[in-house]
Amino acid sequence: MRTLSLAALITAATLSATSLSAIAKNTAAGIVANQVGFNSQSPKVAVVPNVASNDFTLTDKATGRIVYNGKLSAPKSWSEAKETVRLADFSSVQYPGEYTLSVDGIAQPFAVTIDENVYQEALSGAIKYYYFNRNSAALQKEHAGIYHRPASHPDTTVYVDASAATPERPVGTVLSLPKGWFDAGDFSKYIVNSSITVHTLLRALDNHPALFAKLNLNIPESNNNIPDLLDEILWNLDWMVSMQDTDGGLYHKLTAKRFEPVAMPHTQYKPRFVVQKTTAATLDYAATLALASRVIAQYEEQFPGRAEQYRAAALKAWDWAEENPNVLFEQPEGFRTGMYRLDGDDYKDEWAWARAELFVLTGKRKFLKGYEVANTARTPEWSDVETLGMLALANHAKTPSSLKQQILDTLKKSADTWVKQAHSSGYGVAMFGRDFRWGSNGVAANKALALIDINKLVPNPQYLETAQALVDYILGRNPNGLSYLTGFGENTPMHPHHRVSEVDGIQAPIPGMLAGGPHKGYQDKKECNVKYNVDYDPSIPSKAYFDHWCSYATNEVAINWNAALVYVLAELN
């Protein structure tokens, strides 16, 4: 798809000089909405500057005929954008087509697509991102097109660091741990983040087997009578299984000692190590392998014995965690790569997630011993996983009824809170306060995921409306006027913090990557200011985003954020 720079979009959306007096200050620069489009039956809303006019029109591009006359909402502010805007709701328009949304006083109309399968290409792109991030494989031109590259990081020679050494595998032991995906903008691989990623993708596959059976991604395994999504999941799952030590514990990560230079991966291979086994990595793995066992059992003919292998691996991990209940990751001396840890973490959410998935897998009540329903169902992310356990138990027929009711009450309470957030926002999106943290777009996608799942348990149309609005936010209904999914939309990130995309000599980044998103943490100030002599304003949370390689705090990509987007696009498709 065609992409424009943010500056070009703002220029294109500039208000006509004769209309400036009719428009309030501190409002949107132009009409913003989902740039990929809308499903026929879905809610359809655009954000409009705070103009004097109260009317908008939707025109059929093919015929020039006005198909809808609508009224703008009353002006409403959104503190996270420091803007006052109005909403144009055209949800009643359901006929597929290409339309133009126009508002008096705004020079540039907005192009609207309505289609039954409007997210199909974006869904495929968001999944194929994982293929482009494959470790240990050459990406052939027939599958990768212009993004083909030689094999890199074979990981057939990986050293056991002192932090992970045991009598059976002493320091310097060489292990073969190939496959997996590069985690984010760097070339490392982390069990904590891989776990929630694979878990989310497995759930998507389990929910929609017919959809994914038909989805051809043009990867090497395509046309093997196995869903391409499962083939891609297995590329990473094979690596995860190899990261389990003989005693059942999971190495926290596989990494070089430093983040590798900004260069193509096949030119920058450094010695790689496995480091320290941790409780978080082991519990996350146990939960994910428990689900993997249940899902792969549906493909027993193609993968004989694999379900039992995963079951045994999950149980072995659980046993290790029971013996090592509070091993927090500590960065080994000499290492400076990602940590995936929280200071002061009590692991309550990891324990709850593993207990839930192992109970669903085995039916054994012992796994519910000590299970506590959290007071709040937080948005799922690598550091907050209790909601995933609650959803597993709420959907399981054999969960004790009293426990299930407690869970449903908690899930509903959180969903109702998110609906209230959306209603209080001028943009109509449930993003507030702490939501604008590192990976805020992942927060938006995972909040949509939770709302969609909660709606299946305690149906409420407002839950789906709020989920749709969050997807719209990611794909363009935001103060930056960006579709944050590379390659999908009129204005998408061109310079994500992703090593391959930065140095491959191709103008467009690899498509299908969800940029981390705005937040005012400004962790990359030194990198941008000192090294590149560029800057961005972090003062307004929803606008604190910089489409530049230097801005790893807002513009990096990561496998877990993409997984949540895959999940919600599959649901909405």
For 323, the domain range is: 120-480+557-572
Tell me the average pLDDT across 174-198. Answer: 98
Q: Which residue has the higher pLDDT, 6 or 201?
A: 201
Q: Does a structural domain hold residue 32?
A: yes
Q: Does a structural domain hold residue 407?
A: yes
Taking each helix axis from N to C terminus, what angle separates 440-457 and 386-394, rounded to the nearest 10 degrees?
20
Query: Could you give the dihedral angle defined by the CA atoms of residues 184, 187, 193 and 198, in that order, rounded to the nearest 10 degrees?
Result: 90
CATH code, domain carrying 189:
1.50.10.10
Cα Rg for the chain, rounded, in angstroms? 24
User: pLDDT class for 402, splitting at 50, 70, 90?
Assistant: very high
330 φ, ψ to 5°? -125, 125
CB under 8 Å, gap of 24 or more: what pairs does 369-376 form? Answer: 371/403, 372/348, 373/403, 373/406, 373/407, 373/410, 374/348, 374/349, 374/410, 375/410, 376/410, 376/413, 376/414
Query: H/E element holding 70?
Result: strand 66-71
Q: Going along 318-406, which residue ranges are E strands? A: none
Q: What is the DSSP letter of 17?
A: G
- The yes-or-no answer on residue 497 being catalytic is yes
Q: Does a structural domain hold residue 422?
A: yes
Q: Does a structural domain hold residue 209?
A: yes
Contact (Cβ atoms closer than 8 angstroms) between residue 435 and residue 418: no
Catalytic: which of 153, 252, 495, 497? Answer: 497
- The yes-or-no answer on residue 556 being catalytic is yes
At 273 the pLDDT is: 98
Q: Do 22 and 107 reside in the same domain of the chain?
A: yes
User: pLDDT class for 24, splitting at 50, 70, 90?
Assistant: low
- The yes-or-no answer on residue 199 being catalytic is no
Tell me the average pLDDT across 310-335. Answer: 98
Q: Does a structural domain hold residue 539?
A: no
At 411 the pLDDT is: 98
Q: What angle do CA 238, 272, 202 make, to 5 degrees?
A: 25
Q: Do 381 and 402 reside in the same domain of the chain?
A: yes
Q: Do 110 and 245 reside in the same domain of the chain?
A: no
- Could you give the number of structural domains in the chain? 2
Statement: residue 5 has pLDDT above 60 = no
Tell me the average pLDDT across 460-466. Answer: 98
Q: Write the pLDDT tens digit of every residue in 522-566.
A: 999 999 999 999 999 999 999 999 999 999 999 999 999 999 999
How many C-beta neighbours within 10 Å does residue 490 have? 19
Here the tokens at position 186 are 């760097």
Q: Do 358 and 429 reside in the same domain of the chain?
A: yes
Q: Write the pLDDT tens digit of every residue in 208-237.
A: 999 999 999 999 999 999 999 999 999 999
Using a pLDDT cut of 90, give the percent of the chain over it.
95
Residue after which a domain boundary falls, among 63, 84, 114: 114
Torsional sign, CA 430, 567, 542, 381: positive
Q: Do 42 and 147 reside in the same domain of the chain?
A: no
Catalytic: which of 80, 465, 547, 571? Answer: 547
Tell me the average pLDDT across 277-298. Answer: 98
Here the tokens at position 99 are 């339309």
Query: H/E element holding 158?
Result: strand 158-160
Name the one residue in this structure whose structure tokens are 């936010």. 473
Q: Write the pLDDT tens digit of every residue in 339-382.
A: 999 988 999 999 999 999 999 999 999 999 999 999 999 999 99
Q: Do 351 and 334 reside in the same domain of the chain?
A: yes
Q: Does a structural domain hold residue 294?
A: yes
Q: Do 472 and 563 reside in the same domain of the chain?
A: yes
Statement: residue 7 has pLDDT above 50 = no
Q: What angle do CA 477, 481, 486 make, to 5 degrees?
A: 95
Q: Does a structural domain hold residue 487?
A: no
Residue after which a domain boundary falls, among 114, 134, 157: 114
At 55 the pLDDT is: 98
Cα distance from N-terminal residue to C-terminal residue, the chain: 19
Taking each helix axis from N to C terminus, what angle separates 191-207 and 279-296, rounded to the nearest 10 degrees?
20
Catalytic: which of 183, 186, 435, 453? Answer: 186
Tell me the average pLDDT across 63-77. Answer: 98
Q: Which residues contact 25 (CB under 8 A, 6 or more apart)?
A: none
User: pLDDT class for 11, splitting at 50, 70, 90?
Assistant: very low
Contact (Cβ atoms closer than 8 angstroms) between residue 36 and residue 488: yes
At 25 the pLDDT is: 72
Q: What is the DSSP letter of 32?
A: B
User: pLDDT class for 453, splitting at 50, 70, 90?
Assistant: very high
Q: Do 146 and 275 reside in the same domain of the chain?
A: yes
Statement: residue 2 has pLDDT above 90 = no
Q: Does a structural domain hold residue 306?
A: yes
Tell me the average pLDDT across 185-200. Answer: 98
Q: What angle do CA 529, 535, 539 make, to 5 degrees?
A: 120
Here the tokens at position 18 are 């004769």
Catalytic: which of 155, 386, 556, 571? Answer: 556
Angstrom distances, CA of residue 83 to CA of 17, 48, 320, 354, 426: 20, 11, 52, 43, 8
Q: Do 236 and 380 reside in the same domain of the chain?
A: yes
Query: H/E element holding 77?
Result: strand 76-78
Statement: residue 267 has pLDDT above 70 = yes
At 12 the pLDDT is: 35
Q: Do 195 and 102 reside in the same domain of the chain?
A: no
Q: Do 178 and 63 reside in the same domain of the chain?
A: no
The residue type at 119: Y
How is 271-283 classified by DSSP, letter by letter? -EEEEEE-HHHHH
Contact (Cβ atoms closer than 8 angstroms) between residue 445 and residue 474: yes
* Distance (Å, whole) CA 331 – CA 335: 6
Statement: residue 484 has pLDDT above 70 = yes
Statement: residue 508 has pLDDT above 70 = yes
CATH code, domain carrying 88:
2.60.40.10
How many C-beta neighbours within 10 Å does residue 140 have? 11
* Distance (Å, whole) CA 46 – CA 469: 10
Q: What angle do CA 481, 105, 84 make, to 5 degrees?
A: 50
At 16 the pLDDT is: 33
Residue after which a domain boundary falls, among 59, 90, 114: 114
Q: Do 206 and 80 reside in the same domain of the chain?
A: no
